[in-house]
Structure 1
């Protein structure tokens, strides 16, 4: 049976698993709240998550695909909440400066693209193509965002700084949306998810090679209080 015969099933599964992926941020935020600070956790996945979802909401609105529109609308709201929590607990000057730069760059790009699409674009097909390219960019960066911590993994020989729930869910989600892209014959859906699938696969292999905690370490101390190792 052809893959297109399973379009509705794949779309439903992709939607459910994607929402589950967005919910994986709850565990990361729970650890941040428990520690009382962000520690070594990067805020970049949340920043790029807001950016990527905003671009996909715009693209799927132009495309008229309700499955992807609803999914990314939910994702946008959740990622915005996670980012707000991260900013609240970001007490390190270095981390705050870094995440602020990321927000200015990506959110300015998002605002400029939205202004172009809804106020200045005269060719709908050209606008859809340009937004699609930004979606590809955002999806690839979102899938690769945990790679910013890979240097730390090789330095410490452990994966404590990598968000396993996010990486595992990205692995599953990108596989499903890649298949959905094949059904739609839409390269903007196919290719970024295929690349994301490969990136997530690489990140998962790190959990097979390195332990999840540093040897002999039971906890970390933040502001004089004992915290849980992530």
Structure 2
């Protein structure tokens, strides 16, 4: 959602909007499927997290960037916020590295997740270079 907001604020970024909108749809389907099949306690916890992060977190960022910043400053500040969240997404799987080092086994390292995140990062980097947008790259 943040990248869609960034693309809307920047203007002229139709491809960025459509790619991230498709990602939002896929993520929503995934969360709904999880909520359908998860145990009750997990459903409640997940629903709270979704509300907290998506509604409250995005709402605060939306209001802050909409009213506190104007023009190019809005694009720059929103770009850095998006970069911060993207770094968190791509770095999160590295938290398992400690366990891999302790056990000297890659049993706990999800290969497909590592591969797809690496490929995704490369593609976004190349796309960012192509459109000359340092925040996307």
TM-score when scaled to structure 1?
A: 0.48
Alpha carbons of structure 1 residues 157 and 96: separation in structure 2 relative to 1, 3 Å: farther
2:127 maps to 1:187: no
User: For structure 1, which runs of at least 5 residues remain unmatched after alignment?
Assistant: 1-53, 191-230
**Partner in structure 1 of residue 30 of structure 2:** 82
Higher RCO structure, 1 or 2 (CA under 8 Å, sep 6+) = 1
Aligned residues: 134
Question: What SS does the corresponding residue of 2:16 show, helix, strand or coil?
Answer: helix
**C-alpha distance in structure 2 between counterparts of 1:161 and 1:84, whole Å:** 26
How big is the shift at 1:58? 0.7
How big is the shift at 1:57? 0.6
2:85 maps to 1:110: no
**C-alpha distance in structure 1 between counterparts of 2:4 and 2:16, whole Å:** 8
Deviations 1:30-82 (A, max 9, x none): xxxxxxxxxxxxxxxxxxxxxxxx00011112222111111000001111111
Task: Determine which of 17, 21, 38 is the counterpart of 1:73.
Answer: 21
**Partner in structure 1 of residue 115 of structure 2:** 168
Q: Over aligned residue pairs, what C-alpha RMSD do you find?
A: 3.0
**C-alpha distance in structure 1 between counterparts of 2:93 and 2:25, whole Å:** 21
Question: Which protein shows a greater Rg?
Answer: 1
TM-score when scaled to structure 2?
A: 0.74
Alpha carbons of structure 1 residues 79 and 173: separation in structure 2 relative to 1, 3 Å: same
2:7 maps to 1:60: yes
Greater share of residues in helix: 2
User: For structure 2, which runs of at least 5 residues remain unmatched after alignment?
Assistant: none
After superposition, where does 1:19-98 map in structure 2 within 5 Å?
54-63=1-10, 64-91=12-39, 93=41
